[in-house]
Each structure stands twice: as structure tokens, then as C-alpha cells.
Amino acid sequence: MRNLTKLAVVRVRGGIGLRKEVKDTLRMLGLTRVNHCVIIEDSPSYKGMLQKVKDAITWGEISPETLEHLLRKRGRLLGDKRLTDEFVSSNTEFKSIGEFSRALLEGRAKIEDLPGLKKVFRLHPPKGGYGRIKRPIKDGGALGYRGSEINDLILRMS
């Protein structure tokens, strides 16, 4: 059985001074601007991409509660409309955003299953700041893999 965990990836740094291949990888991930967040699968191909751009992003495993909060507050449809429970129930087999987010984490649904849902979540800068954005997490900075601490960061940003 495949690993079904989902990772939340947040872009922390801008594009000045980045190599072209790093910029290209960020674009492939959908992270075109600072404070953008995407939800991806925890697969070897994505892990390789994350390692390539680790000096511009932070990532970790997202919890069901945080994913539901992110979809409710920052989920946008085409035309910059908010994602609502009514839209989810009328366009999918799920009755609410919470049910959809749990199915997403369990692998029973994909973000693409909701027609018109944008894959990128635009977030505010975090309350209290990132910390040192030129240093990795283990050195007290903001870059790289942060595990479940990503949930706290996303809540501070939404």
C-alpha cells in the first residue's frame, strides 16, 4: 500500500538569487510567490523536488484539522469565490468541507475532484514572523522540513 500522507509546502523566500532550475521547480510545484501554500502527496518524486528547493520553502505533514481550516478560510474557486459546504456537497459525494478534507488525507479524494478549486492557497505572513529565513529549522530558522510544526505555521498564516 502506498503512503497516503499529504505534505503542506509553504514558500518562504523570494526569487532573487535563486538558480534557474530551482525557480523552475518552484513553478512546477505551483509556488510562484512568497507565502503561497500547496498540498502535495508524500511521494519520492515530490521529495526530490522538495530537496532541490529546500532553501526557499518549508514543509511538513498536515493534520486533518489544519487542512479543513485551510480549505474553509483560504480555499478559493475560479473567480476568487470562497469554498463553501454547499459547493462541496453539490459537486462531490462529500457533504462538507470537513468530510472532503478527511477523504483527501485518507487518499479517497484529490484536490482535482473539486471542479474549479485553485491548487494554491494564498496566505498572510505569519503572526510573530518566520524567524530567520536564511537558516534551516535545526539552526533556529524557517527553511526545510519541519514535520507537524507546519500546522502551527499555517494557522498563524491564515
Q: Are residues 113 and 128 in the same domain?
A: no
Residue 13 lies in a domain: yes
Written as one string, the DSSP assignment of 10-36 is EE-S-STT--HHHHHHHHHHT--STTE
Per-residue pLDDT reduced to its tens digit, 104-150: 998 888 888 899 999 999 999 999 888 888 898 899 889 999 999 99
Statement to judge: residues 32 and 51 lie in one domain: yes
pLDDT digits (tens, 9 = 90+) for 21-59: 999 999 999 999 999 999 999 999 999 999 999 999 999
Take residue 76 and report the three cell numbers written for it: 478559493
How far is residue 87's CA from residue 65's CA, in Å, rounded to a whole number? 20
d(CA 25, CA 114): 25
Per-residue pLDDT at 1: 38
91 and 130 belong to one structural domain: no
Determine the Cα–Cα distance for residues 157 and 140; give it in Å rounded to an integer.
Answer: 19
In a domain, 139, yes or no: yes
Same domain membership, residue 24 and residue 45: yes
- Report if residue 1 sits inside a domain: no
Cβ atoms < 10 Å from Cβ of 114 = 21
**Is the Cα torsion angle 45, 38, 84, 112 positive or negative in sign?**
negative
Residue-number span of the structural domain to which 107 is assigned: 67-118
Give me the pLDDT at residue 107, please: 87
Whichever domain contains 56, its CATH number is 3.30.1390.20
Cα 79–Cα 97–Cα 121 angle in degrees, nearest 5: 45
Query: Is 138 in the same domain as 111?
Result: no
- Give dist(CA 60, CA 5) in Å, integer: 10
Same domain, 59 and 126: yes
Domain of residue 78, CATH code = 1.10.15.30
126 in the same domain as 112:
no
10 assigned to some structural domain: yes
Domain count of the fold of the chain: 2
**Residue 64: what residue type?**
P
What pLDDT score does 140 carry? Answer: 87
Q: Is the C-alpha dihedral spanning 115, 69, 14, 39 positive or negative?
A: negative
